[in-house]
């Protein structure tokens, strides 16, 4: 190495020569002269003005003795004057010096006085260049992947810092990266300060580090300051935005970038950028439902401070804070996601973070959302780079973000474990002094909830992306329910999201900017709501006059909006107890009574929250949002107002016959226009179980049947809406029953027990103890029913919502009002038994179709015989099942079908003779008929007895039989297994057999199917096909006609019968005589031989 004196002399000579050359070139070639001047400045020895120096820091602690010894300055060496001299004096600095020269930094560097330099080793620079390739997108001067700003970042503007000062404690130093040595370094809190650099002692290794890079050699000093050799290249720290988006171990914010070697040395510098609208795991489920977009991937990998960036975006401040073009520095007091989520609910967070985006189409909502976001964000942004380490111990007052908010932050800092900690407005700072390119970031663990931030239902609806619903409420004059002006009123809001409304109605309500499209949009909404169900499927067409009188599209919109506002606050537990919600919609169709929404609460096995739906529209929030006295549910689809009666019942196939009955009676339009009704809808089985009664009521083209059916249907329509929660409950002490009149004029009582809801339909006024429990009943009215329980009908499904009220489903029967008189004649007409009716009239038996005690024209004996004498049985005796005439209270009819009668030979012969009374022509068409040669009187006598065989007198006490009106008790008319019944054919009885459930057969009593073995078979047996209960008896349809007993079923008389009888008698006598002769011969032989003696 050359002696210093010789080197300096040589340098002086070269400098003078170069100076002369530069002067000549400056005059001839100014541009070239400038380049030579830069090279000459490498040997500049003139000192810079002392005004550029900054004062040293005081109060620093001592570092360890071993580390200080390694960093002491060399003794005996003569100090260089400038940093350029210092870099030129040692071969270890050659690479950095070369980089400084190529970046044209020599002149500015020679002007620095009282500074500190961190010099990367040659190996560190070479390694850095290998790992990074220069990109054309890098702005500014760059030499071998090192920019001029990055090179200036190695120079500290806070004075000549010695080794003891660096090692004493964690400290942030201001670099020349922003000022570039052309301006003075700013004060501690100036907005245009240079990028900060952090020095601290690694507590694990005990070594001094600068931004995480080890300081590996002693300090080198010159008159311009001190220099330290470091094992790496200092990289520009991440920006504030990059810090917020990174993921660091343990939730720590890191302040470094790039190289593979630094990734090992600085694990916290790894950056991972996510979607700007990322959210916490719990928010992802909600966000997808309300229309937020999320990056695909594991939500748990999301950056911990992502919500800070989203809040700054919502406040409109992020661009101003992260932009480096203006050269301003800012401080961000960054809360983590957990702290923010702990301070605000999901809906509140969604409003603060997404409100400006969701309310972009509404200027008033947009301005309000931005204002509220700034109220929260103003506490966490300050102008300038505020460092706890640079402020030092004590209480300090710092300004807010450009004083826009006029807010002051109070910071307390205390040294701890060689570092710094503190509080801001009482909120602990967990990670202090995180260096960023454009400022400093501090991590805090709590979030302050501003007192001047007030949430209203309208703001929450904005956060839930229901701005179209907000606009609808405002346009229809209902904005007062959500703007917070009605704080004392409890309300539940069922709000569909924007996406739900657009998907359901197929258009965007927000397109009407100038109001010109308002009527069209309103008309489309009204049309959609009145013709489509919740899923968008078209409903059944309705007559125009069945629609509400309000036809204004705006009124339809208002009604629909009111239907989504529920009176009172309803929690999920409240809905589970009582799912019926009274809305603010009180239409004329319900006589001004509040329309109802029906909720359904379902909790799947193992589910953490209960699933709730309203009229089939799912609530997509795990829990409802409560703001003040308002509870909000978010719906996946809009709720149409309740449909008409027919459209409500048609989807249920069990109610199809009731709908058909309304249509057949021509009263559908009348019923659907009735305002405020309750419909008790019987199921299909209730109608089919009526048997012949339903056959009569459903006769097409019969005016009488249509009138009776109309009265029956109206008997199921109550004149007021009665929902299940309005029906009184039977308890141990009270058993009140709600009695309501129907459109038919009859009355129906309703009550509830622990077993369900029941309709009381007894004809007479119920006695105090009709239910067998000793509870007093308070009911009135004349009611009747056809069911398995003559008193009570169970309601299996309740609260089917209608436009005009509500419907309930009757499970086990229907109501048959007293003004619907079902007679045997009507049942015969219903089963189309024309032949049997004709035979009754022919044989003067029509009195069996009437009320016996009302018929005074016939004697009791005539009622039994119909005025026709029976020679076979002409006895007045009541023995063998004969019943006294005065005990007959009605008649039940066993009616063979017309087909069965046409198969009867006697009836067929009678009809043939009726059609040819003048003369009988034997054309041979029915030559096998045994009645062809019988007299007409014999045929009539036979058919008369056959008809009487099919008539059963109902025996009972006249005074009690019609105690509840002109209707015999149904249980007295039903068939019973193995029970014997008398008939109008004297001394002949019938027996019923139940061979299956409610399936009966009829046969002659005490008569086997076959006579003596070997004889001709005799069968008198028929199956009951259908039956019906009439006022004075029952009618049973048989599949075939019964046969008369053998003595009455011997067939036609005449000489054939006489010859047959004579032959039978002669045969019998002959056989008896032969047997007697054989017996006599045998006796004679025995008697003769009895006298012989054996030899």
pLDDT, tens digit (0-9, with 9 covering 90-100), for 438-486: 899 998 888 989 989 999 999 999 999 999 999 999 999 999 999 988 8
Report how far apart, in Å, the C-alpha atoms of 709 and of each of 664, 670, 693, 696 are: 8, 14, 10, 9
Span 1010-1033, average pLDDT: 75
At residue 1025, the pLDDT reads: 92
At residue 275, the pLDDT reads: 32
For 907-916, the CB contacts below 8 A with 24+ separation are 907/835, 907/839, 907/943, 909/934, 909/939, 910/936, 910/939, 910/940, 910/943, 913/939
Confidence label for 680 from pLDDT (cuts 50, 70 and 90): very high
At residue 430, the pLDDT reads: 84
Q: Give the Cα separation of 503 and 636 in Å (integer).
A: 10
Span 97-104, average pLDDT: 90
Beta bridge partners of 806: 678, 801
Q: Give the Cα separation of 809 and 803 in Å (integer).
A: 17
- Report helix, strand or coil for 1081: helix
Fold match between domain 260-444 and domain 457-635: yes
What are the tens digits of pLDDT across the range 209-245? 999 899 987 778 898 899 999 999 998 898 888 888 8
At residue 2, the pLDDT reads: 47
Contacts of 316 (CB under 8 A, 6+ apart): 356, 370, 373, 374
At residue 960, the pLDDT reads: 58
Q: How many CA atoms lie within 13 A of 873 on its CB side?
A: 18
Confidence label for 775 from pLDDT (cuts 50, 70 and 90): very low
pLDDT > 90 fraction of the chain, expressed in percent and rounded: 34
At residue 73, the pLDDT reads: 42
CA triple 538-540-543, angle to 5 deg: 125
Q: Is the pLDDT of residue 139 over 80?
A: no
At residue 624, the pLDDT reads: 93
Span 637-647, average pLDDT: 90
Confidence label for 418 from pLDDT (cuts 50, 70 and 90): low
Higher-pLDDT residue of 607, 985: 985
Span 904-912, average pLDDT: 90
At residue 570, the pLDDT reads: 93
Q: Is the pLDDT of residue 883 over 90?
A: no
- Stretch among 424-438, 445-459, 699-713 having the lowest mean pLDDT: 424-438
Span 104-130, average pLDDT: 89
Per CATH, domain 260-444 is 2.30.180.10: yes
Report how far apart, in Å, the C-alpha atoms of 1026 and of each of 131, 317, 697, 834, 897 are: 97, 84, 15, 16, 11
Confidence label for 264 from pLDDT (cuts 50, 70 and 90): very low
Fold of 457-635: FAS1 domain (2.30.180)
- Stretch among 154-163, 405-414, 525-534, 867-876 having the lowest mean pLDDT: 867-876
Count Cβ atoms below 10 Å from residue 1008 Cβ, excluding itself.
11
Identity of the highest mean pLDDT range in 198-202, 319-323, 770-774: 198-202
At residue 878, the pLDDT reads: 37
Span 784-788, average pLDDT: 42
Q: Is the pLDDT of residue 38 over 80?
A: no
Contact 990, 983 (CB under 8 A): yes
Confidence label for 657 from pLDDT (cuts 50, 70 and 90): very high
Entry pTM: 0.71
Q: What is the mean pLDDT of the chain?
A: 76
Q: Is the pLDDT of residue 255 over 50?
A: no
Q: Is the pLDDT of residue 347 over 70?
A: yes
Span 254-275, average pLDDT: 34
- Report helix, strand or coil for 298: coil
20: left (phi over 0), alpha (psi -120 to 50) or beta: alpha
Tokens of 244: 């917020």
pLDDT > 70 fraction of the chain, expressed in percent and rounded: 68
What are the tens digits of pLDDT across the range 819-857? 899 999 999 999 999 999 999 999 999 999 987 766 554
At residue 661, the pLDDT reads: 93
Span 174-181, average pLDDT: 70
Contacts of 399 (CB under 8 A, 6+ apart): 382, 383, 384, 408, 409
- Report helix, strand or coil for 621: coil
At residue 860, the pLDDT reads: 47
At residue 791, the pLDDT reads: 62
Alpha helix segments (H runs only) across 259-345:
260-265, 281-290, 306-315, 318-322, 337-343
Higher-pLDDT residue of 1092, 798: 798
Phi–psi pair at 602, nearest 5 degrees: -135, 125
Confidence label for 389 from pLDDT (cuts 50, 70 and 90): confident
Q: Which residue has the tokens 């760059």?
A: 142
Structural domain boundaries in the chain: 1-35, 44-234, 260-444, 457-635, 645-815, 824-919+928-1048, 1056-1087
Beta bridge partners of 810: 682, 795
Closest C-alpha to 413, from 401, 422, 405, 424: 422
Q: State the burial class of residue 353 (Cβ atoms within 10 Å of its Cβ: 0-12, 13-18, 19+).
A: buried
Q: Is the pLDDT of residue 1084 over 50?
A: yes
Superfamily of 44-234 according to CATH: FAS1 domain (2.30.180.10)
- Stretch among 64-73, 182-191, 426-435, 884-893 having the lowest mean pLDDT: 64-73
What are the tens digits of pLDDT across the range 952-973? 999 877 665 555 555 777 777 8
Q: Is the pLDDT of residue 279 over 60?
A: no
Give one DSSP letter per residue of 760-822, joined into a string. E--SSPPPTTTTSS-PPP---S---EEESSSSEEEEEEEEEEETTEEEEEESSEEE--TTS--
Give the pairing of strands 330-335 and 439-444: parallel
Q: Is the pLDDT of residue 1077 over 70?
A: yes
Identity of the highest mean pLDDT range in 271-285, 538-552, 719-733, 1064-1078: 719-733
Q: Is the pLDDT of residue 280 over 50?
A: no
Tokens of 901: 């009668």
Q: Is the pLDDT of residue 390 over 90?
A: no
Length of the chain: 1095
Identity of the highest mean pLDDT range in 301-315, 367-381, 547-561, 1016-1030: 367-381
At residue 829, the pLDDT reads: 93
> Which CATH architecture group holds 645-815?
Roll (2.30)
- Stretch among 324-338, 639-653, 762-776, 955-969 having the lowest mean pLDDT: 762-776
């Amino acid at each position: 190495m050359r002696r210093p004196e010789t080197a300096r002399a040589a340098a002086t000579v070269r400098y003078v020569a170069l100076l002369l050359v530069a002067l000549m070139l400056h005059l001839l070639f100014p541009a070239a002269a400038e380049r030579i001047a830069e090279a000459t400045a490498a040997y500049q020895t003139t000192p810079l003005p002392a005004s550029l120096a900054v004062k040293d820091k005081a109060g620093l602690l001592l570092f360890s003795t071993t580390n200080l010894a390694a960093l002491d300055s060399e003794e005996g060496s003569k100090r260089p004057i400038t940093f350029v001299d210092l870099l030129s004096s040692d071969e270890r600095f050659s690479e950095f010096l070369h980089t400084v020269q190529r970046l044209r930094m020599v002149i500015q560097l020679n002007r620095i006085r009282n500074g500190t330099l961190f010099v990367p080793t040659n190996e560190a620079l070479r390694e850095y260049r290998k790992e990074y390739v220069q990109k054309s997108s890098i702005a500014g001067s760059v030499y071998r992947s090192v920019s001029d700003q990055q090179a200036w970042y190695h120079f500290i503007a806070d004075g000549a810092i010695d080794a003891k000062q660096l090692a004493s404690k964690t400290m942030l130093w201001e670099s020349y990266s922003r000022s570039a040595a052309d301006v003075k370094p700013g004060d501690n809190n100036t907005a245009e300060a240079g990028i900060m650099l952090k020095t601290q002692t690694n507590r694990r290794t005990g070594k001094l580090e600068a931004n995480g890079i080890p300081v590996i050699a002693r300090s080198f000093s010159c008159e311009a300051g001190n220099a330290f050799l470091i094992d790496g290249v200092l990289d520009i720290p991440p920006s504030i935005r990059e810090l917020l988006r990174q993921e660091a171990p343990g939730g720590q914010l890191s302040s470094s970038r790039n190289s593979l070697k630094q990734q090992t040395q600085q694990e916290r510098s790894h950056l991972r950028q996510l979607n700007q609208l990322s959210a916490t795991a719990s928010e992802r489920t909600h966000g997808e439902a309300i229309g937020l977009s999320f990056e695909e991937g594991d939500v748990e990998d999301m950056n911990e401070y992502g919500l800070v960036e989203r809040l700054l975006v919502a406040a409109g401040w992020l661009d101003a804070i992260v932009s480096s073009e203006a050269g301003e520095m800012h401080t961000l007091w960054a809360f983590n996601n957990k702290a923010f989520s702990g301070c605000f609910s999901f809906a509140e967070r969604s409003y603060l973070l997404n409100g400006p985006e969701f309310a972009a189409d509404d200027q008033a909502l947009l301005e309000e959302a931005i204002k509220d976001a700034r109220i929260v964000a103003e506490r966490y942004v300050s102008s300038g780079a505020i460092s706890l380490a640079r402020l030092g111990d004590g209480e300090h007052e710092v300004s807010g973000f450009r004083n826009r908010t006029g807010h002051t932050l109070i910071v307390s800092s205390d040294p701890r474990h060689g570092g710094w900690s503190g509080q801001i407005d009482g909120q602990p700072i967990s990670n202090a002094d995180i260096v960023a390119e454009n400022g400093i970031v501090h991590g805090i663990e709590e979030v302050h909830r501003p007192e001047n931030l007030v949430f209203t239902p309208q703001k929450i609806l904005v956060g839930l992306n229901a701005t179209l619903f907000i606009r609808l409420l405002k346009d229809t004059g209902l904005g007062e329910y959500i703007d917070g002006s009605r704080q004392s009123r409890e309300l539940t809001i069922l709000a569909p999201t924007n996406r739900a409304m657009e998907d359901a109605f197929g258009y965007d309500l927000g397109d009407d900017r100038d109001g010109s499209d308002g009527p069209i949009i309103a008309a489309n909404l009204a049309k959609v709501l009145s013709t489509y169900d919740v899923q968008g499927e078209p409903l059944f067409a309705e007559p125009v006059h069945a629609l509400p009188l309000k036809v204004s599209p705006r009124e339809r919109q208002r009604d629909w909006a009111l239907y989504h506002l529920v009176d009172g606050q309803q929690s999920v537990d409240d809905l589970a107890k009582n799912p019926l919600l009274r809305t603010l919609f009180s239409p004329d169709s319900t006589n001004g009574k509040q329309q109802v929404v029906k909720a359904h609460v379902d909790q799947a096995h193992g589910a953490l929250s209960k699933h709730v739906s309203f009229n089939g529209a799912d609530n997509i929030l795990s829990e409802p949002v409560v703001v003040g006295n308002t509870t909000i549910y978010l719906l996946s689809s809009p709720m149409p107002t309740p449909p008409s009666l027919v459209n409500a019942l048609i989807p249920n196939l069990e109610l199809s016959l009731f709908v058909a009955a309304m249509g057949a009676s021509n009263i559908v339009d009348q019923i659907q226009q009735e305002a405020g009704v309750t419909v008790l809808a019987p199921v299909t089985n209730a109608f089919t179980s009526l048997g012949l009664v339903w056959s009569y009521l459903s006769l097409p083209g019969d005016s009488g049947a249509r009138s009776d059916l109309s009265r029956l249907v109206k008997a199921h329509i109550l004149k007021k809406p009665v929902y299940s929660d309005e029906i009184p409950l039977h308890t141990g002490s009270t058993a009140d029953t709600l009695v309501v009149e129907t459109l038919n004029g009859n009355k129906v009582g309703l009550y509830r027990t622990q077993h369900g809801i029941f309709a009381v339909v007894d004809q007479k006024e119920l006695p105090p103890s009709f239910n067998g429990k000793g509870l007093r009943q308070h009911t009135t009215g004349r009611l009747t029913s056809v069911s398995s329980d003559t008193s009570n009908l169970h309601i299996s499904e309740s609260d089917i919502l209608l436009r005009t009220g509500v419907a309930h489903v009757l499970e086990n029967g229907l109501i048959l009002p007293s003004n619907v008189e079902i007679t045997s004649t009507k049942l015969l007409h219903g089963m189309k038994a024309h032949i049997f009716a004709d035979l009754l009239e022919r044989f003067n038996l029509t009195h069996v179709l009437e009320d016996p005690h009302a018929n005074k024209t016939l004697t009791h004996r005539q009622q039994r015989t119909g005025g026709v004498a029976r020679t076979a049985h002409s006895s007045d005796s009541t023995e063998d099942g004969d019943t006294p005439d005065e005990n007959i209270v009605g008649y039940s009819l066993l009616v063979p079908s017309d087909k069965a009668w046409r198969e009867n030979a006697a009836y067929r012969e009678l009809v043939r003779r009726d059609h040819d009374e003048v003369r009988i022509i034997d054309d041979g068409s029915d030559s096998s008929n045994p009645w062809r040669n019988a007299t007409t009187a014999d045929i009539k006598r036979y058919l008369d007895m056959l008809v009487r065989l099919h008539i059963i007198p109902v025996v009972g006490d006249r005074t009690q039989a019609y105690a509840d009106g002109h209707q015999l008790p149904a249980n007295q008319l039903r068939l019973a297994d193995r029970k014997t019944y008398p008939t109008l054919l004297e001394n002949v009885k019938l027996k019923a057999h139940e061979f299956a459930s409610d399936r009966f057969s009829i046969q002659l009593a005490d008569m086997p199917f076959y006579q003596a073995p070997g004889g001709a078979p005799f069968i008198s047996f028929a199956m009951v096909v259908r039956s019906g209960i009439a006022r004075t008896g029952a009618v049973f349809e048989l599949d075939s006609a019964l046969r008369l007993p053998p003595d009455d079923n011997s067939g036609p008389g005449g000489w054939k019968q006489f010859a047959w009888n004579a032959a039978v008698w002669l045969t019998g006598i002959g056989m008896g005589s032969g047997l007697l002769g054989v017996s006599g011969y045998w006796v004679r032989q025995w008697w003769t031989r009895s006298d012989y003696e054996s030899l």
